[in-house]
Chain A
Amino acid sequence: MGQTIAEKILSAHSGQEAYAHDIVVARVDFIMGQDGTSPLAIRSFEEMGGRRVFDPERVAFVIDHSAPSPSEGVSNLHQLMRRFAREQGIHLYDIGEGVCHQVVPESGRVGPGSLVIGADSHTCTYGALNALATGVGSTDLAAAMISGQMWFKVPETFRIVCRGTLPPGVYAKDLILYLIGQLTADGATYMAVEFAGEAIAQLSMEGRFTVANMAVEMGAKAGLMEADDKTLAWLARHTRRQFVPVRPDEDARYARVAEYDVSRLSPQVACPHRVDNVRPVEEVAGTPVQQAVIGTCTNGRLEDLRVAARILAGRRVHRDVRLVVAPASRQVYLEAMREGIIQALVESGAAVVTPGCGPCVGTHNGIPADGENVISTANRNFKGRMGNNKAFIYLASPATVAASALTGKITDPRHFLESR
């Protein structure tokens, strides 16, 4: 019987032919924890009686959710992580290195066929590299750090085929917001999603990370893509490791298959307080915004900053708007400096903060005031998400956020792109 990508990867890592609904114990290739979740995992590790991690090369911690620390409580949790990492000989990405979901792919540790768990729900991002990667809690992380294994229920797969070509001014972010709006926040719960079709193939790797990143916002366990020449070229720039791409069989069994034509898509905006409350920009244009955020594991990559700079360069951010920019990693930050992107953003009025998650997850670096509207390139707009439950968060592409920062209201970025 044919297998999906998820079934093949779980089969290869469990030593048994696995199909949807089976429960398997599988060996994991890489384990990641961030500063919101690792302290609890360390405690569980100790309570379990763990002494050594199974393989220090396959475990990493990232300090990104509150980086640098905004309080003594967090500082002490960071200290706990640093001490544990030193004792165990595992790599710790400290403040300023970047968001976990950017630094892990950049490290070259993850590629086609990898099985990865991370104590962060957006671990599904690495699906863009044809890896089965999924978010877990701290106790699961601790058990896997000890044993190198985790139990999985093999997910059913939902194949989403994206046809056509995205129009100018419409990006990967708009595509995934549109899909989430169509399928809702629990439209793929417990399933692995396979994103396919020419519209996905045409995306850059950056764009593919954006799409895979948000698979969890429809409840999915993983958001997978096939590896193609772009994937392999991207990997070759980051590692010498060799990976074998995993393709679904022709006769693989899918729980559901859906096709969408994205050729006539408009820029999309997710409105408060739900990620699936998605509308075309035309319907919400004119809504005033007081803060704009460009960054995060969804849209803080070089291409994202480049698009924003294209709109913002030579112009000034509206006087009633704060624009916060957080590059996804130090590497992205440095490349953006070399290209003059950071210069253009800062000249336009942007406040550039340390690579990290703060503005998205509400730990620091731009908590909105009561009643304010924020437009952000992040992946979640839940009530209270940015640290104030009386603020309103709109999600959009970097282009839409940049255009809105200029006008002080939600704005269709195509007005600015056409004029250049």
Chain B
Amino acid sequence: MEKLRGRAWKFGHDIDTDMIIPARYLNTSDPAELARHCMEDADPSFAGRVQPGDVIVAGRNFGCGSSREHAPLAIKACGVSCVIAASFARIFYRNAFNIGLPILESPEAAAGIRQGDEVEVDLGSGTITNLTRGEQYRAAPVPPFMQEIIAAGGLINYVRRRLGKDEV
């Protein structure tokens, strides 16, 4: 699996889906439009300054709140390569896998990484390297069933492939 590399954007605990993408912007499903408002209520400058490949690093319970899939879509569409958090809310966790946004659960990485650190993520092994500080952290392994979905490139491809095979 590929390695991801980018600068870290640090956020706190309980970053909810209204902070990631407020409902007032759900008048569109266009990912590019959603990306323009990503994290707006947590850090209004984020969407304008984030670079392709950058990594969001947050505390506990990232993505709590609504079931809106616009939240991981907005993050993915603004170029973020991966989200690392101490823990995730469950609907967000599922949604991120389903749309193909890599996420890693690692309390030690969430604690060790600072704003602006250069971070490299090996999704295959779950190893997170902090190039700025010369530290390494382990992420919780991804359940095997979900690895299948990632390998297929998300749930849409996974189902499409199965539909093609089974002619359901």
Contact = CB atoms under 8 A, between A and B. Distances in A.
B118 interface: no
B53 to A, nearest CB: 24
A385 interface: yes
Contact of B159 (A36, A48, A380, A385): A48
Contact of A140 (B23, B28, B94): B94
A37 B14 contact: no
B29 A40 contact: yes
Nearest to A139: B98
A384 B18 contact: yes
Interface stretch (A83-91, A170-178, A183-191, A263-271): A183-191
A119 B82 CA distance: 24
Given A146-B159, A189-B61, A73 B22 contact: no
A73 B75 CA distance: 21
Interface string A7-24: 000000000000000010
Interface string B87-103: 10111001100110000
A305 B41 CA distance: 32
Given A146-B168, A383-B19, A384-B22, A121 B66 contact: yes
Given A37-B68, A49-B160, A382-B65, A219 B90 contact: yes
Interface residues of A, number: 51
A363 B90 contact: no
A371 to B, nearest CB: 15
A136 interface: yes
A384 B19 contact: yes
Contact of A74 (B22, B27, B64): B27
B interface, size bucket: 35 or more
B24 interface: yes
Residue of B28, B40, B67, B95 with most partner-chain A CB within 10 A: B67
Interface string B71-95: 0010000000000000101110011
B1 interface: no
B160 A48 contact: yes
A37 B67 CA distance: 8
B70 interface: yes
Interface string B155-168: 11001100110001
Given A74-B27, A137-B94, A362-B23, A48 B163 contact: yes
Contacts of B67: 37, 118-121, 123, 135-137
A138 interface: yes
A142 B158 CA distance: 12
B117 interface: no
B21 to A, nearest CB: 10
B60 interface: yes
Interface string B32-74: 0000000011000000000000000000110011111110010
Nearest to B98: A139
A295 interface: no
A71 to B, nearest CB: 6
A190 B90 contact: yes
Contact of A40 (B22, B24, B69): B69
B8 to A, nearest CB: 22
Nearest to A121: B67
B145 A140 contact: no
B16 interface: yes
B29 A43 contact: yes
B6 interface: no
| Top-9 shortest CB links A-B | A73-B27, A137-B95, A137-B69, A384-B41, A186-B61, A139-B98, A135-B67, A382-B18, A389-B41
Interface of B: 14, 16, 18-19, 22-24, 26-29, 40-41, 60-61, 64-70, 73, 87, 89-91, 94-95, 98-99, 143, 145, 154-156, 159-160, 163-164, 168
Given A37-B69, A48-B160, A73-B28, 7 more contacts: A23-B145, A39-B29, A137-B94, A140-B98, A140-B155, A185-B64, A384-B24
